[in-house]
Amino acid sequence: MNNVHQIDHPLIRCHLSTVRNKETPPKEFRAAVRQLTFIAGIEATRDLATVTTEIETPIQKCQGYEVEQSFGLVPILRAGVGMVDSMLELVPDAQVWHLGLYRDEKTAQPVGYYNKLPAGKPVEMAFILDPMLATGGSVCMTCETLKTWGVEKIKMISIIAAPEGIHRVSTEFPDLEIYTCVIDDHLNENKFIVPGLGDAGDRIFNTNG
């Protein structure tokens, strides 16, 4: 599928090993998530529109560039919060809007509980941030919300994606671009990605109990 980009990079393979390892402590897990997000974010922002401007170096004037589009980061609470700082390093002027979703453990369907998107003019491009693209339900709900808001272009950045989630999202929103560090094998009977990394939110925020 042309809208799915699996990013191949030696550092991604190394950082993926860190987040997959069940013995990785939360501090190291969070650091690896940030590094993976940063690398994926570089790929996802390659086509940001820019305009030329004039700047002055210590030597002379020369041509510079500025990002033309308005863009926003939309982390899906709560795990997506762990990806925000890396993206803000890349695009410091990005707006950040949070959408709260949780998975009903009986149905594996997303339930929305928080939405603070403003009523005014939307951003031109939005990046959905969620470490795991599993069933695709949360991403589809988020896409619908952003399209209702009026966002023209939407991309998703994930750490690990399942084929089932990719298929659902690509079917319901064929114009959504997906950037992921790896596509895993399948979802198990509990709708967890296999081999995956477990619950990303619990591991980021150290709430495994």
User: Which residues are catalytic, by number?
Assistant: 103, 107, 199, 202
What is the crossing angle of helices 26-44 and 10-20, to 10°? 150
- CA distance linking residue 54 with residue 123, whole number of Å: 26
Helix (H) or strand (E) holding 74: strand 71-77
b/e burial code for range 24-56 (CB count within 10 A of at least 16 → b): beeeebbebbbbbbbbbbebbbeeeeeeeeeee
> Is there a contact between 100 and 81 (Cβ–Cβ < 8 Å)?
no
**Distance of alpha carbon 208 from its chain centroid, rounded?**
22
